[in-house]
Amino acid sequence: MTIKHLFPVAKPTLDLNFAAEQTLDPRITFTRSSVGTYIDSRGLVQTAVDDEPRFDHDPETGESLGLLIEESRTNIITHSEQFDNAVWQKAACTVTANATEAPDGTTTADLIVEDNADSEHRVSFNAGTATSPRYFSFFAKPAGRNIVVANVAGVGGASFDLINNTATSGQSFPCKIDILPNGWRRCSVYYSTSANAPQIILSDDGVFPFNYQGDGTSGIYLWGAQLEAGSFPTSYIATTGTVETRAADVCSVTGTNFSSWYNQNEGTVALEIKPPILGLNKTYYIFNGNSSTQRILCYMGTTASPTLYVNNGGLASLSLPAMTPNTKTKLAHSWSQTDVAGASNGVLSGPISASPPTTITSLDIAMSSIWVPTSTVSMHLYRFAYYPRRLTDEQLEALTS
């Protein structure tokens, strides 16, 4: 049997190739009750208006990452770009507003310059009541200093080398550095304990204590600070005086836009996704029926393994191999009136006996209106395809390899 023979001859009746086409199929209902940012093919931060889908890109390579779907998040830093504002406390440094071009192409990035004291040179923001966990992030660019530290007093933080593109935490906090064009880097660090007063510290070596003799001229450019409740960083949320919330992305297919391509008796879903984190009790997709006991879905519980559920008054479940966060994964899920099977990255699970419902009326992507919890799962969705037949086990393996 040839490899070509393993791929289905039948074409999908729904093929949402977001990474390749970067458009929204007119059959999809998409909403987000706020603006949202994304990275374009040039690596620049762009803003999408309310209800506009975001087609994200790798800021370093320009690779298309498909449709960006995110849960709601709030940036509690009230002046995310205005480091000269009084809400940012200064220590042994000065701030020049709008000193250079920012990651969004506007001249809104500020210059922070150390004085010549033997001291800790920093800006800090008091975010009020502490909660946990929180992710702190900001965009930085060298201006004489190549190392910057994200710190929370009494908690610790991480140091970032803006030239060698390294992120290091002495407390083993998750941290990362993302490469953008024009020398910009996005620095992010996670605090599992209470964090309410983040500091951005200039450093000569990134090693605590961070005091050193300043030269009065060296510094860094800063832009886009964000402190958000959650266990992974999300897209930038700009603020100009108050906290701002980015609403959740909601994506569904209903009515004749759904029934025109869906087969009630059998089917296969193939999708390519990149989730930022795993094990958060989220739904990647769900086919909804006429009641809470009529549904077909792919769900991520508290482990790294997604689970396929088929409920037709009685629940059948099938675990797939574990996924890796921030890594593109191919999944497939196939069902008939007698069984269900699935595959992940070429590894088959099942089949097991199952009796799927035949009263499906809609599709929710990355959230659920009837499955608990109902909140949106954050991910990049490269592709979502539906075949109106139960593909073979060998074809599931081939589709996900």
242 and 255 co-located in one domain = no
Q: Which of 246, 272, 300 is the last residue of a domain?
A: 246
The CATH number for 228's domain is: 2.60.120.260
Q: What is the extent of the structural domain holding 129?
A: 74-246
| Burial group, residue 300, by CB count within 10 angstroms (0-12, 13-18, 19+) | buried
Quote the pLDDT of residue 292.
Answer: 77
Closest CA to 145 of 107, 103, 197, 201: 201
- Please indicate, yes or no, whether residues 87 and 211 belong to a single structural domain of this protein: yes
Higher pLDDT, 309 or 4: 309
36 φ, ψ (degrees, to nearest 5)? -155, 150
Whole-number Å distance between alpha carbons of 346 and 140: 40
- Rounded-to-integer distance, Cα 381 and Cα 390, Å: 23
**Does 33 share its domain with 83?**
no
For 283, the enclosing helix (H) or strand (E) is: strand 282-288
CA dihedral 370, 372, 375, 378 (to 10 degrees): -110
Asked whether the predicted pLDDT for residue 116 surpasses 80, the reply is: yes
24 and 132 in a common domain: no
Q: Which whole-number Å values give the CA distances from 238 to 78, 79, 124, 247, in the listed order?
A: 9, 8, 17, 13
pLDDT at residue 377 is higher than 90: no
Q: What is the pLDDT of residues 33-55, one digit of tens each?
A: 999 999 999 999 999 999 999 99
Query: CA separation (Å) from 259 to 25, 197, 357?
Result: 15, 52, 15
Least confident of 180-189, 296-305, 331-340, 342-351: 296-305
Taking only the tens place, the pLDDT of each residue in 213-257 is: 999 999 999 999 999 988 889 999 999 999 999 999 999 999 999
Q: 319 and 221: one domain?
A: no
More confident residue, 317 or 1: 317
Examine the fold and report which residue of 201, 216, 246 is the final residue of a domain before the chain moves on.
246
Distance CA 225, CA 103 (A): 12
Q: Mean pLDDT over all residues of the chain?
A: 91
CATH number of the structural domain spanning residue 60: 2.60.120.200
Q: Are residues 275 and 341 located together in one domain of the fold?
A: yes
Q: Supply the pLDDT for residue 146.
A: 97
pLDDT for the residue 6: 56
The pLDDT-based confidence of 279 (bands split at 50, 70, 90) is: low
Q: How many independent structural domains does the chain possess?
A: 2
Lowest mean pLDDT among 24-28, 376-380, 387-391: 376-380
28 and 133 assigned to the same domain: no
Question: What tens digit of pLDDT does each residue of 125-176 get?
Answer: 987 666 667 899 999 999 999 999 998 866 778 999 999 999 999 777 899 9
The encoded tokens of residue 301 equal 């519980």
Q: What are phi and psi of 292, to 5 degrees?
A: -70, -10
Q: How confident is the model at residue 1 (pLDDT cuts 50, 70, 90)?
A: very low
Average confidence (pLDDT) over 286-297 = 88
Percent of the chain with pLDDT over 90: 72
Q: Taking the alpha carbons of 313, 384, 27, 276 in that order, is the dihedral positive or negative?
A: positive
**Domain check: are 160 and 176 in the same one?**
yes
Q: What is the number of residues in the chain? A: 401
pLDDT of 70 reads 95
Residues 156 and 132 in one domain: yes
Same domain, 351 and 297: yes
HSE-CB at 232 with a 13 A cutoff on CA atoms is 16
Does residue 322 share a domain with residue 194?
A: no
Q: Which of 246, 272, 297 is the last residue of a domain?
A: 246
Whether residue 219 is found in the same domain as residue 90 = yes
